[in-house]
Each structure stands twice: as structure tokens, then as C-alpha cells.
Amino acid sequence: MSTHDAARFEPQSPAALVKAAFGECFAQGGAAFIAAAVVMLPAAALSLAFTYLMGQSGALQTVMSMQSGQVDPTQLDTREFLSSMLVLVGGGLAVGAVSLLTTFAGAAAVGRMLAERALGRPYSAAQAWDFALGKLWRLTGAGLVAGLTLTGGYIVASIPASILAIIAAGATGGMQPGATPSPAVQIVPGLVVLPVLVAVAAYLASMPSVVAVEDMGGISAVFRSFRLVSGRFRQAATTIGLGGLILLGPPTVLQMVAQFGLLERLTAALGGGMGMLAALGPATVLGLVAWPILFVLMALIYFDLRSRQTEEDFTPYELTLEVGGELPEGVGDPFASDPDSPAPADIS
């Protein structure tokens, strides 16, 4: 019999959870990192291809020139503009959809892996991929539900953010014809949208693990994830906010520096496509390293929230009932007539 990991069944501080995420991600030969990174490879490859296409077609430069007021609307080539928008919108939707589904599948595979590890069982990357493929349709549906929920939060936050952007543009003269928008026009809305997205992410962080461990569908899983956070929002939001800042902050800063400081020079030196890849590609690759650790953190948040529940027990016995297999060493059936009697070898 295996020996369970007692730490997964006890509450921990946000800092301890973030620290544990790094250790768990690279434990057992980096199985969690490998499992998540491989699942996310198609999205990363598509994102890099889309980046190259934007630069090669000149679509991004056209739209950015319009936003900066460098293009006279009366002299605009309508066909060129529509072609640019088609590339940006169509490619962006494709990248977003693939990223959403692979992200949810990767997080669910890692959640299942950590559940098995919590019971003291080795769990390889190949087993995680088998699990994800076996639950492909359920993970796809749940991923769509999570994406719609996150999009809803973004839309709600965008309303006041847009109002503030207009106010900031008017106050800084950015609404004058030919004027370049002030950085405040981009920064101020972000200060409104970001906290809302962190809040929604806190409520959704446990959802992939709920699907993977408790075998729920998308609608049930999102409600279950919200219930787990209820009354424990500060713990969940602090943890996901801290982890997001540490893990996704560097790729975001790198992309902003490249986009606003290096993009023009690199595209001039290397050409549109290769220049875009050289400027924005490193952030995509760095994200491929950061996201698996964040997936582990999301699973740890799930276990932490369950350990804080007062309405239900969360012990190795309950977890074994959910994932199946043998009971860990020293864990007995609490409903057995004789509490000292040995537990069944397998309760799957």
C-alpha cells in the first residue's frame, strides 16, 4: 500500500501553496511540468504562427497605426483594413479557443496527477495524457463553460474600464485628431479589469481539478468551484493573485517591453514576420514554462479549499472514493463495523 501525503489534506497559507507549486511541478522527474507543457504545445505553436502571420501580413501595423492616429480615415484603404481585421480577429479567435481548451485540459491532467500523488501513488506524464484523452469531450465542454464565465467577467469589467479610458483620453488630449493616445489610456482601464479577472480566476481556479477528481461536467463543476471559494475568497484570491504575479508577471512585462520598445526596430531589421517572432516569441516560450507551475498551484488551491470545508470531510478515504484504487497505508474505512479491522484492498 502507498502512504498518503498529509499536507494535501491540511490548510496552508498562500505563500506555502505557491512554494509547494514549484516543488510539486518538478517532483518525480518533472512529470507535472512535462504533462502540462506537452498538452499546451499546440496552443504555443499556433500562437507563434499567428505572431509571424501578423507581422508578415502587416495586419498589426495597420491597426496600430490607426489607433495611434497616424492614418487619415479618409485615405484609408478599406480592403486592406478589412483584410487586416480578418487576420487579427480570425487568428485571435483561433489562438484563444485552442489556448482555452488546452489550458483547461492541462490543468485538469495536473489536478488528477496531484490527487493520485496525494494518495501516495506515482503518476506519470503518460498517465496524465491518457486521462485527458479519455475525458476529452468532458474537458472540452467544461473548458468552454470556464471560458464563457471568464469572458462574462471581462465584459462586466470592460464597461467601467471603457468609460475611464474615454475620460483619460479626453483629459490627456488623446481624442484630438492625429494625437497619440497617452499611456494612461491603456494603464487606467487595466487597473479596473485586472482585479475583476483575478476575482473570477479565484472562483474558477478549482474547476479543472473538480472535473478531474470529482468527475463532474462543466455546469456542475463551475458551481462546485464557486461553492468551494464561498467564505474563503480572500485565501483563494490571494493565492492565485500571488502566483499569477510571480509566474505570469515576467512574460507579460517581457511582451510589453518588446511590443513598445523593440518591435519597430526588430521588424525594420528582420522583416515583418521574423521581427514579430523575435519580439513577441520569447514571451510565448516563457509562458510555456510558467503555466504548468500555475496549473499545479490551481490544483493545490483546490485541495486547500476542500481542507477548509466545514460542511464535508476531506480525508484520504474520501479522495480514494473519488479517484478509485487502493486505500493508502494506514487509512481505514470509517464506516466499517469494526474500526480496527483492515480496510478493503480496493474500493474502486
What DSSP string runs through 117-177?
HHTT----HHHHHHHHHHTHHHHHHHHHHHHHHHHHHHHHHHHHHHHHHHHHHHHTTTTST
Check whether 66 has a pLDDT greater than 60.
no
**Whole-number pLDDT of residue 295:** 97
Mean local confidence (pLDDT), 291-312: 94
**Whole-number pLDDT of residue 81:** 64
In tens, the pLDDT along 131-147 reads 999 999 999 999 999 99
Mean local confidence (pLDDT), 294-305: 97
Distance CA 232, CA 238 (A): 10
Distance CA 305, CA 226 (A): 11
Distance CA 207, CA 132 (A): 15
Check whether 339 has a pLDDT greater than 70.
no
In tens, the pLDDT along 162-173 reads 777 677 666 655
**Whole-number pLDDT of residue 16:** 95
In tens, the pLDDT along 237-270 reads 999 999 999 998 888 888 878 777 777 787 777 8
Mean local confidence (pLDDT), 189-199: 84
How far, in Å, are 103, 125, 129, 221, 278 from residue 284 at the CA level?
14, 22, 22, 29, 11
Distance CA 263, CA 257 (A): 9
Which residue stretches of the chain are H helix? 14-57, 59-67, 78-118, 125-134, 136-171, 183-204, 207-214, 218-229, 233-257, 263-270, 272-307, 316-323
Q: What pLDDT band is residue 117 in, cutting at 50, 70 and 90?
A: very high
**Whole-number pLDDT of residue 258:** 76
Q: Which residue has the higher pLDDT, 225 or 190?
A: 225
Check whether 205 has a pLDDT greater than 60.
yes
What pTM does this model have? Answer: 0.85
Distance CA 42, CA 307 (A): 35
- Give the least confident one: 52-56, 185-189, 197-201, 288-292: 185-189
Q: Which residue has the higher pLDDT, 14 or 183?
A: 14
- Give ∠ CA 177-164-175 in degrees, rounded to 5: 5
If you average pLDDT over every residue of the chain, what do you get?
84
**Whole-number pLDDT of residue 276:** 80
Q: What pLDDT band is residue 271 in, cutting at 50, 70 and 90?
A: confident
Distance CA 48, CA 41 (A): 11
The DSSP symbol for 217 reads -
